Structures are given as structure tokens and as C-alpha cells.
């Protein structure tokens, strides 16, 4: 109806309208509103010509066939969604630089954008190195062998960061073989990750192989992080290359802290995703050396965080933890009772 | 070496050891430790017979060919990872009831479990209903038509909760047609979601169609939630059926709040995943009716949360928000300055 025709109406003094017709869902209105003339409309129907407001059916009553009384006034635009109210022509429907969320997809669909141009998922080739490393499906280990725990776990973190993991396989401790394998992967990969053998000298062999792959080469070799010190960061012919520590726990800690953000950038994500963080209170002291960032796994119960201590080689420290906290470089530890931010594993 | 042989050694009084050989990575040791006899070992190598501890190379020095001096004592077990230290025989490697995390996959791989039995991803069939609803790829809308925004957005939420979305298509406002479509999907679906037409009477038609599908039938029809009041929850022949409100914003709010937890349960996930929650301070009042749970979208800047107000039909309220907060049933609103927990959209 016309809002102006409802001014001053009330329970005691209703306004009377002839009903000129009804709007059908999904169709153009066939009746028009006018002075003293209303049109029946379902929620979501198209506003008929002549009308500028909708009165809820609860505030009307049929008095005669084709006539209603209205007991509440409405303002112009009330009960109406303007055609440009959700998004005007020219409006940005979804920003670049972050994954499309469910509601973004809804908005794009509403605007008729059933396909959109997006960044490709980066392909990340994962190599494991070490004479002692054998595939996970190895049923019986020979003395001195370990199964490759890191590659499967890295694949999950790569997927979580929007990448596509590709298995580079297990490379023996031989710089020439490693260099050949890396060179073969360079053309088809958007990023390369090497979980390094941990034996003496192998670290340098990995660095040597990486340094031959192309400019600009190695950014840094060694980080002031625990666990994760023997980390290699490089860029070879435009491809980021990360050499991770040999033990699985250190490798996963470093990849989560450094590899995943790099990977997101490679995939066009400039806005870091929201992480589940819980504010909790430490239930015991944590020692830490100044000048080194410490990543400490914790179990969480209510608002209490309990550090999970254990050798850096132990994956169980990660599997039994609910999340981790960071002791910054300038701290020499955290006292029991300190409030900490725990980033929760999903 | 044998730890006992290092007791009492120091910088001023080193212990002397013959080096009987070197352990090779990935192979059984070929030399043994004994009284006054050590074996060279790389990190990750297998402990040779006779040895019960490892001294770091930094605390040794070669003095003659085949002889070293040791300047720090070690305790038995030092520098050694026991075979059962990460997981003993019989230990639980990963708990049931939650998605496998990266570190769980690493632990399973380390134990030789390259394949594990998991819950199947639930197949969720999504129907859109309404004479006014047309597919998103419709280039030109006829008067009164709207594109289906909800199905694409629901598909994303279903994937996020571990399900596989299946497109049931757009069903006209006809109870018999809807019932036939639902019946056809019932056998092959683990869950059914209907985004309901919003026109008068359609809500009841959806309920009628659902009530004919099988026992136990409708659990409830109408929730004390805003937005999301006209929500239908049912179980038909063992399959959860959720009828969502007709407008996309309400549908997405309700599905996130109720549909995703139900879906996770259907998929065997009994432990709710960690959500990113931010503690922030409201920058204005929020009104709310007592006896109703309100879901309010907010923008977040630093530690400040600003409500995004707008008609419940507007998807832009969701697309411009960073997250949402909940005003509980027993509150009549929240004052500016109140500390709130904002669940962040990912």
C-alpha cells in the first residue's frame, strides 16, 4: 500500500483498504496499489506498482470480502527490501586475498556469479631424506630404520593451508641424488619442502643441493627457534624451498609456524585466517633461553594450560597436546600462573 | 658408550675411550661399546650393543687416531630415545571421535598404519524450495525471481563440517512435489537440508511433506532464535532432516548453529572442534528480547566489536561481518562496553 494512507490509523481508528489483488511468488505483480487500495503480498514477493510499504498481516483484519482494516501505520520503505540494499551496482561482493567463506559464495550466487576467478591451489612437493627413512607402509623395520612420519603429516598441513601436496618420495643421504630430485620437481612445484635427514653432515648436503638450484638461493640457514633450529629457508628460481629439521616434531612445529604462512601467501592469501586461540593460565613454570623463540605444546583443561614436556624427537608430545604457546625471544621463561594465549590444534 | 665409564670426568680430568667403530644410518650397528670403548653414532642412529648413553660430539675431542677424550659425564639413558618412548605397545595412537590432525597422521605413519578405518563423510542432500527461486547461473532475472544463494553457501558449510554436499535442486511450492523429492533422497542421504520458501503457507507445506517421510518425524517446528525462528528439526527413517528459514542469512545462521553440530555427530565426531573466538568489547548497545537467543554479526577492529545491523534478509550483514556473538535467552540485550566472545568466521 501507500504508507501515507496509513498515517494516524490505530486500534480504535483503523484505516480501510480495498484489496486489488495478490502478488504471486516469482512473478510480476498483476495488481497495483493506489489511494485506499492495497495488494496482498507474501514475504519475498515483488512490490506492486503504486506501493511504497508493506503492513504485516498481523496488523490487518478482513472486514468484508475484498476489504481490510489496518490498525498500525507504516513509514515509506517499511517492510520492503530495496533492490540495491544488499549490494548496489559496483559494490565489492567479496574481497581478494582471503578464502571465500560460505556467505561470500551465497552473495556471489545471489548476484549470478556461478563461477569466479580464484588463485590456483599451490602444488607443494614434499621430499623426505635419510638413509634410515622407509615408507610408512613398511610392515617390518630392519634394525636402524624408521618409517617416514613427517611426509603424511606435512601433507595434512599443506591441505589445511590451501595447498595440494605432492609426494616427492624418500631420498637417500646423497647430495647429488637430492639435487637431481629437487631439480626435477622445481618446474612443476609452487613450493618445495624437504624434511631433512638428521645425521651429521646431511644438513650441509641439503644446503649444498638447494644452493645449486637457482637464484636468489638460500635466505637463511638456522633459526632461533626451539624446536626447529636447523631450518633452511630458500628461494630457487622463484620457488620457495623450506628445509625442515629431521625429527618429525620439530619439522611440524616449524612448518606450522613458517611454512603454512608462506604457503598461504603463495596461494594469494594476504589475510591470515582466524586461529582458535584460548586464554589460559599456566600450571607450572616453563624455562626458556633468552634470544630464542620457544614453541611449547600444552594440554588444556578448562582455563588451565599444562606444558607437555618430552624429547624433541617425540611425536607423542604433539599428539597428546591440545595446542601450543609461544615463549618470545626476549623472555627467559614463563612462571606458573602466567596468563598465556594457547593456539589450539584443530 | 657405557654411562658408568663417564662418571667423574670433567674438563680438567677427561675420560679416554677407544672408538670401536661407527654406526651407519638405517643399518644395524656393526661395533659394540664396552668398558673404555665407545662407538661413534649419528643423530637417529641405532644404539650399539653394550651402550646405554650418548655423549654429544661437542663434549668430546679426538686425541689420537681411534681415541677420544670425554669431558662431560652422562647418565644412563641420556641422549637415547627408548623404543617405547613415543608410544608403547598397546598405546592409543589417535582417539576416535575427532578428525585426524596432522600429527595424528604422522604418529600413525610412524607406527606403520598407512591406512586406517574412519567414518565415511556424510552425504547431505540440499533442497531449495520456492516458486521465486532460480539457479545462480540465471543471467537475467524475471520480475519477482531471486537466485538461489543458500544452496552454494550451505555446500561450503557442509564441507567445513566434514560432509559431502549433494545438490537436490530447486523444488516449486508444492507439497506433493517436495514430498516426492525428499522421499527420493532419503535412501541415499545421511542428512537432508531444506532451505524453505518464505511465502505464506509454504512453511506448513514443508512440515507436512517432512511428516510423511517416516518415524519418528518432526522433533520441533520453531526455535527461540533470531534470526532463525521458522526452523524445522526432524528425523525421518533414521535420517536427520533440517528445514531452514527461507531467507539466506537466517538459513546460514541456523545451519552454523545447529546443522553443523548435527552433521559432525552424523560423521562420528563427538568432540566439537576448536573455534576461533576473540574476546572483544562492544562499541554500542544491542537490544534483544528475553526468552530468545540472538545471533548478532559483528565487525572486529582490534579488541572492539561493532554490531552489523540490517534486515534479516540481507546477506551483506554476513559478508561484511568478521564473526558473531550470541545474546543468551535470559538477557534483554548487551550494553556498550560489555566484554563479549566473538566467534570468528574463517
Mean pLDDT (whole number) for A205-222? 92
**B171 contacts: CB under 8 Å, gap ≥ 6:** B127, B128, B129, B177, B178, B181
Q: Look at chain B and count its residues.
A: 346
**Nearest-CA residue of chain A relative to B79?**
A311
DSSP string for B177-235: HHHHHHHHHHTT-SEEEEE---STTHHHHHHHHHHTS-SEEEEEE--SEES--S-EEEE
Count the neighbouring beta carbons within 10 Å of the beta carbon of residue B82. Answer: 10
Nearest to B106 among A248, A322, A344 (CB): A248
Ramachandran class of B331: left when φ > 0, alpha when ψ lies in -120 to 50, beta otherwise: beta
| Cα distances (Å, whole numbers) of residue B233 to A89, A102, A260, B236 | 38, 22, 39, 10
Q: Return the exposure string of B30-56: e unless at least 16 CB atoms fall within 10 Å of the residue's CB, then b.
A: ebebbeebbbbbbbbbbbbebbbbbbe
Partner-chain contact B45 A155, CB within 8 Å:
no
Which one is predicted more confidently, B223 or B196? B223
Residue given cell 527490501 in the structure block: A81
Partner-chain contact B144 A199, CB within 8 Å:
no
Q: What is the DSSP letter of A167?
A: E
Q: How far is A252 from chain B, CA to nearest CA, in Å?
A: 8
Partner-chain contact B150 A112, CB within 8 Å:
no
Mean pLDDT (whole number) for A69-90? 94
Partner-chain contact B111 A147, CB within 8 Å:
yes
Give A39-45 contacts, CB < 8 A, sequence gap 24+. A39/A1, A42/B198, A42/B199, A42/B200, A43/B198, A43/B199, A43/B200, A43/B246, A44/B130, A44/B132, A44/B146, A44/B197, A44/B198, A44/B199, A44/B246, A44/B247, A45/B132, A45/B144, A45/B199
Residue given cell 605397545 in the structure block: B89
Mean pLDDT (whole number) for B201-222? 88
- The pLDDT score that the predictor gives to residue A71 is 96
Count the neighbouring beta carbons within 10 Å of the beta carbon of residue A324. Answer: 22
- The pLDDT score that the predictor gives to residue A198 is 55
Nearest to A276 among B43, B103, B276 (CB): B276
- The pLDDT score that the predictor gives to residue A197 is 62
Is there a contact between A148 and A243 (Cβ–Cβ < 8 Å)? no
Partner-chain contact A314 B85, CB within 8 Å:
yes
pLDDT tens profile B236-283: 999 999 999 988 999 999 999 999 999 999 999 998 888 899 999 999
Of the pLDDT bands very low, low, confident and very high (cuts 50, 70, 90), residue A194 is very high
Q: How far is B345 from chain A, CA to nearest CA, in Å?
A: 7
Task: Give the angle subtended at the CA of A173 by the CAs of A169 and A178, to the nearest 5°.
Answer: 55
d(CA B228, CA B313): 11
- Using a CB-CB cut-off of 8 Å, the residues of chain B touching A133 are 26
| Gap between the terminal Cα atoms of chain A | 53
- pTM assigned to the model: 0.93
pLDDT for residue B65 is more than 90: no
Residue given cell 639435487 in the structure block: A179
Count the neighbouring beta carbons within 10 Å of the beta carbon of residue A28. Answer: 13
Partner-chain contact A102 B144, CB within 8 Å:
no
| Gap between the terminal Cα atoms of chain B | 53
For residue A244, the cross-strand partners are: A195
- Using a CB-CB cut-off of 8 Å, the residues of chain A touching B199 are 25, 42-45
Residue given cell 543468551 in the structure block: B328
- The pLDDT score that the predictor gives to residue B312 is 77
Pick the CATH number of A277-344 from 1.10.10.10, 3.40.50.1820, 2.40.340.10, 2.40.10.340: 2.40.340.10
Mean pLDDT (whole number) for A99-109? 96
Helix axes B202-211, B175-186, angle to 10 degrees: 40
Closest to A274 in 3D by CA, of A343, A204, A189: A343
Q: Mutate which of A102, A136, A142 to test chain B, going by most B C-beta atoms within 10 A?
A: A102
CATH architecture observed for domain A3-70: Beta Complex (2.170)
- CB-based burial of residue A209 (10 Å sphere; 0-12 exposed, 13-18 middle, 19+ buried)? buried
**Nearest-CA residue of chain B relative to A85?**
B314
d(CA B34, CA B179): 81
Enter the C-alpha cell of residue B63: 686425541
How many Cα atoms occupy the beta-carbon half-sphere of B250 within 13 Å?
A: 24
Partner-chain contact B25 A252, CB within 8 Å:
no
Specify the CATH number of the domain B123-266.
3.40.980.10
How many Cα atoms occupy the beta-carbon half-sphere of B50 within 13 Å?
A: 15
For residue A325, the cross-strand partners are: A296
Q: How far is B245 from chain A, CA to nearest CA, in Å?
A: 12
Q: For chain B, give me the number of helices (H) and strands (E)?
A: 7, 20
Nearest to A28 among B105, B144, B197 (CB): B144
pLDDT for residue A216 is more than 80: yes
Q: Are strands A60-64 and A67-70 parallel, antiparallel or unpaired?
A: antiparallel
d(CA B327, CA B307): 12
Measured over the CA atoms of residue B71, residue B76, residue B81 and residue B83, the dihedral's sign is positive
- Using a CB-CB cut-off of 8 Å, the residues of chain B touching A26 are 130-134, 142, 144-145
What is the overall mean pLDDT for chain B? 94
Mean pLDDT (whole number) for B177-187? 96
pLDDT for residue A155 is more than 80: yes
- Using a CB-CB cut-off of 8 Å, the residues of chain A touching B43 are 198-200, 246
- Using a CB-CB cut-off of 8 Å, the residues of chain B touching A151 are 109
What is the domain partition of chain B in residue ranges?
A: 3-70, 123-266, 277-344
**Nearest-CA residue of chain B relative to A157?**
B102
Report helix, strand and coil shares of chain A as percent, to nearest 5.
20, 30, 50
Enter the C-alpha cell of residue B12: 680438567
d(CA B262, CA B95): 20
Q: What is the DSSP letter of A319?
A: H
pLDDT for residue B138 is more than 80: yes
Q: Mutate which of A44, A45, A300 to test chain B, going by most B C-beta atoms within 10 A?
A: A44
Mean pLDDT (whole number) for B8-32? 95
d(CA A268, CA A270): 6
Count the neighbouring beta carbons within 10 Å of the beta carbon of residue A337. Answer: 10
Would B3-70 and B123-266 be classified into the same CATH topology?
Answer: no
- The pLDDT score that the predictor gives to residue A269 is 96
What is the overall mean pLDDT for chain A? 94
Provide ipTM, 2 decimals.
0.92
d(CA B60, CA B18): 12
Nearest to B143 among A46, A104, A110 (CB): A46
| Cα distances (Å, whole numbers) of residue A248 to A151, A260, B41, B315 | 9, 16, 20, 44
pLDDT for residue B201 is more than 80: no
Nearest to B246 among A44, A314, A316 (CB): A44
Of the pLDDT bands very low, low, confident and very high (cuts 50, 70, 90), residue B60 is very high
Partner-chain contact A276 B278, CB within 8 Å:
no
- The pLDDT score that the predictor gives to residue A201 is 64
Is there a contact between A178 and A209 (Cβ–Cβ < 8 Å)? yes
pLDDT tens profile A287-337: 998 899 999 999 999 999 999 988 878 999 999 999 999 999 999 999 999
| Cα distances (Å, whole numbers) of residue A269 to A98, A253, B156, B184 | 5, 21, 18, 41
Q: Mutate which of B103, B110, B295, B313 to test chain A, going by most A C-beta atoms within 10 A?
A: B103
Q: How far is A95 from chain B, CA to nearest CA, in Å?
A: 10
Residue given cell 572486529 in the structure block: B300
Is there a contact between B297 and B321 (Cβ–Cβ < 8 Å)? yes
Q: Are strands B304-307 and B339-344 parallel, antiparallel or unpaired?
A: unpaired
Residue given cell 578464502 in the structure block: A99
- Using a CB-CB cut-off of 8 Å, the residues of chain A touching B106 are 149-150, 152-153, 248, 252, 315, 318-319
Mean pLDDT (whole number) for A234-248? 94
Task: Give the angle subtended at the CA of A119 by the CAs of A117 and A120, to the nearest 5°.
Answer: 110
Is there a contact between B159 and B165 (Cβ–Cβ < 8 Å)? yes
Mean pLDDT (whole number) for B165-192? 96
Closest to A329 in 3D by CA, of A286, A300, A293, A282: A293
Amino acid at each position: 500500500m501507500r504508507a501515507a494512507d496509513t498515517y494516524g490509523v490505530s486500534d480504535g481508528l483503523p484505516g480501510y483498504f480495498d484489496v486489488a489483488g495478490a502478488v504471486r511468488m516469482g512473478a510480476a505483480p498483476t495488481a497495483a496499489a493506489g489511494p485506499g487500495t492495497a495488494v496482498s503480498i507474501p514475504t519475498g514477493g515483488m512490490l506492486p506498482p503504486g506501493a511504497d510499504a508493506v503492513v504485516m498481516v498481523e496488523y490487518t483484519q478482513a472486514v468484508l470480502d475484498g476489504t481490510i482494516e489496518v490498525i498500525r501505520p507504516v513509514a515509506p520503505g517499511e517492510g520492503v527490501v530495496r533492490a540495491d540494499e544488499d549490494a548496489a551496482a559496483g559494490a565489492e561482493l567479496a574481497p581478494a586475498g582471503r578464502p571465500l567463506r560460505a556467505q561470500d559464495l551465497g552473495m556471489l550466487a545471489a548476484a549470478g556469479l556461478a563461477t569466479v576467478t580464484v588463485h590456483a591451489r599451490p602444488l607443494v612437493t614434499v621430499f623426505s631424506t635419510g638413509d634410515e627413512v622407509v615408507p610408512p607402509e613398511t610392515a617390518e623395520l630392519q634394525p636402524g630404520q624408521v618409517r617416514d612420519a613427517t611426509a603424511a603429516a606435512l601433507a595434512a598441513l599443506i591441505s589445511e593451508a590451501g595447498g595440494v601436496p605432492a609426494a616427492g618420495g624418500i631420498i637417500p643421504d646423497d647430495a647429488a641424488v637430492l639435487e637431481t630430485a629437487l631439480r626435477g620437481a622445481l618446474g612443476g612445484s609452487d613450493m618445495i619442502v624437504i624434511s631433512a635427514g638428521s645425521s651429521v653432515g646431511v644438513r650441509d648436503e641439503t644446503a649444498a643441493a638447494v644452493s645449486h638450484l637457482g637464484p636468489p638461493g638460500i635466505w637463511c640457514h638456522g633459526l632461533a627457534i626451539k624446536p626447529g633450529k636447523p631450518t633452511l629457508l630458500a628461494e630457487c628460481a622463484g620457488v620457495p624451498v623450506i628445509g625442515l629439521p629431521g625429527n618429525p616434531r620439530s619439522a611440524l612445529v616449524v612448518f606450522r609456524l613458517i611454512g603454512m604462512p608462506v604457503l598461504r601467501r603463495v596461494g594469494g592469501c594476504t589475510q591470515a585466517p582466524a586461529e582458535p586461540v584460548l586464554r589460559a593460565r599456566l600450571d607450572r613454570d616453563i624455562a626458556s633461553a633468552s634470544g630464542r623463540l620457544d614453541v611449547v605444546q600444552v594440554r588444556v583443561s578448562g582455563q588451565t594450560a599444562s606444558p607437555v614436556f618430552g624429547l624433541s624427537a617425540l611425536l607423542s608430545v604433539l599428539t597428546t597436546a591440545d595446542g601450543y604457546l609461544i615463549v618470545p625471544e626476549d623472555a627467559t621463561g614463563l612462571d606458573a600462573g602466567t596468563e598465556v594465549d594457547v593456539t589450539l590444534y584443530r
